[in-house]
Structure 1
Amino acid sequence: MATYEEVKDIPNHPEKYLFDVRNESELKETGILPASINIPLTELEKALNLPEKDFAQTYGRAKPAVDAVMIFSCKAGGRAARAANLASTLGFTNAKAYAGSWTEWQAKQS
């Protein structure tokens, strides 16, 4: 599991990835986590299977290596856990969920 402190420090670690798997409408309502890449959970498997060039063109960042630290966030942690499990199933070895997700982030930012 990823912690609030780890997620807060993501902008200082360009080698790590923070994926927000909420839907675009949710992001508009609440805001986004700094340095996060939005890939809704329903699109995640397709995105992680994209060729490197297509991933970079679509998301503005290099596709993560199989051993890259990948942190997944959602609203309250459920979809983040499913996303981390999916990434692991696809062969990514350092995928983890941010259990507190947006709910914890927002509470600690206030």
Structure 2
Amino acid sequence: MFRIALARSRVISRSSITAGPNPVGATAATKNISATLCFNRFNSQKAGDFWTAPVLTYEQVKPRTEQPTPSAYLIDVREPDEVILEKFGFEKPKADQEIVFYCRSGKRSASASDIAQKNGFTNVFNYEGSWLDWTSREQGKSS
């Protein structure tokens, strides 16, 4: 079986790279240079400019998807903005559109609401009871 996995990519901040004890002899300048190099490596440079992994073409990847094996993975590391239409069936909402977040119990949706507001979305709501509340209320209704 060929496994397809989704991975969330994250922007690497300088603070996360430089946090922790200094290596022996490291200076602030050295740490900042390594943070800059690390950031530059994970931006939108053309594959192959910095990476050393072998590069595959469509013709090489396609057969791997048609004859899966348990020892191989195809991992999707696209950004959420790049797959939102495919995954959810709609475009990314505009900053002023109404957005209601829900999850299983309301905890993750509260976090998502907070993150959306911090990222400029202005018409954001959290369905506090979320999926558990919804299903318990819907069970009593007849079709």
TM-score (norm 2): 0.40
Find 1:77's aligned residue among 100, 103, 106.
Answer: 106
Matching residue of 1:94: 123
Question: Highest CA radius of gyration, 1 or 2?
Answer: 2
Write out the 4+ residue segments of structure 1 that deviate beyond 3 Å after TM superposition: none
Greater helix content:
1
The amino acid that maps onto 1:85 is D
Tell me the CA shift for residue 55 of structure 1. Answer: 3.2
Matches of 1:57 and 1:105 in 2, distance apart? 26
Taking CA–CA contacts closer than 8 Å with sequence separation of 6 or more, which of the two structures ends up with the larger relative contact order?
1
Residue 84 (structure 2) pairs with residue 62 (structure 1)? no
The amino acid that maps onto 1:70 is I
Tell me how many residue pairs correspond in the alignment. 64
Q: Considering only aligned residues, what root-mean-square deviation do their CA atoms show, in Å?
A: 2.3
1:37-62 alpha-carbon deviations (Å, 9 max, x no partner) = xxxxx95x852xx26xx533443212
Tell me the CA shift for residue 79 of structure 1. Answer: 0.6
TM-score (norm 1): 0.50
- Structure 1 unaligned residues grouped into runs of 5+: 1-41
Matches of 1:61 and 1:107 in 2, distance apart? 28
What aligned pairs does 1:1-110 form with structure 2 within 5 A after superposition? 46-47=79-80, 50=81, 54-110=83-139
Tell me the CA shift for residue 95 of structure 1. Answer: 1.2
Query: What is the percent sequence identity of the aligned residues?
Result: 31
Q: Match of 2:101, SS?
A: strand
Tell me the CA shift for residue 90 of structure 1. Answer: 0.8
Q: Match of 1:67, SS?
A: coil
- Structure 2 unaligned residues grouped into runs of 5+: 1-6, 11-78
Matches of 1:105 and 1:59 in 2, distance apart? 20
